[in-house]
Structure 1
């Protein structure tokens, strides 16, 4: 997919007087600064900082009578807690901080696609792959911690010992394929939506942007839910003793 640096990256390039030069085999040889080349990392970092800033603000201003922002976050936390408890039978609350962090990170990245100066970090596969790898490492670590190293990996061999040489490689291949499916699903949907929205904005820049922004917000919420739900399901399968 053709690379278009975000307006923020272009502006920072001018303000900071960053050197622009062609990157071999990238963007058709266009001269780009390091921020323009890696603007997906810039937007992903901004999404992470925004998530930390807003959650810190809510935490410092907790009140018995909640304001609008606190009410929103209480609803989000309550919804995530219910989702985790519905999928993880025992002590699901211990995984809420991680699932909540991933949900906010993905959502704010998706949300950046609605802002003119930014682009969604999740429209780049490097960002979604990194998020999927973090989830992969997290649920496998807790699976080994909860069940023990040997027992956790032994269940991939299947219930019949003489089929283990066949079952184990297939199960491990299926486990690794989750990284691709988890990352590509989010990347493909957000990148496609971002490109389509840009095309429609170019065709009808006056009337169309408002309904498209509402549609983009809804689409970003759906993709955040799907990514978070899959992470929860993978985690549930890893820590469940009945698995």
Structure 2
């Protein structure tokens, strides 16, 4: 698979990888066709796992290569470039959350049912933007020829994001199904929340391909955006039902799985 991807242009690589991450979201959303509900402990464990994957991916696949690239460029202190991009990514998602109406799956009965489906999709869509950008920037970094970036590492990032997208698909589709919507409509909303990922991936790959000096900033930006999502939504969501220990242990497992994927494939 990796050898086949190498022959493709970076934008196409990013697009195909993000189609995979979208597909895993769709698989998660498809659970509404087979089960009536997901046990809260299972959902909390999956969310904790997703948080661990995102934290590990943010460092090994994004922030660490960004620091190395900044050091190689010798333009400014590497820590300043990486810190600026990291904080800008978190601020970007914070502003999106603040000014775009949305509702998280964990919010209880604060919105009429007619609008809740749309707001749920918007919430997860906002959180999928940095994931798509991360995939695009990772493949763009490989095309730029940096030693710190590898096609295997970019593939590992896409696999990791795909793993954590599975519970996101469930988190959108299942509450909508429980509100009385049809299975087909619930699935549609669940998978639609990840359609932004291929778009964001293409934008990320194009941006860094045309402006290579942006790479350290772009990688750090994607890392900051993903960490903000983990801190603001994923970890709190995994703990809201009281399964604190389960969520924490699942986070550790997710972190370890993504770390092994990145190190083994890079």
- Give the shorter-chain TM-score range: 0.3 to 0.5
TM-score, normalised by the number of residues in structure 1: 0.37
TM-score, normalised by the number of residues in structure 2: 0.35
Q: Which has the larger radius of gyration?
A: 1
- Between structures 1 and 2, the one with greater helix share: 2
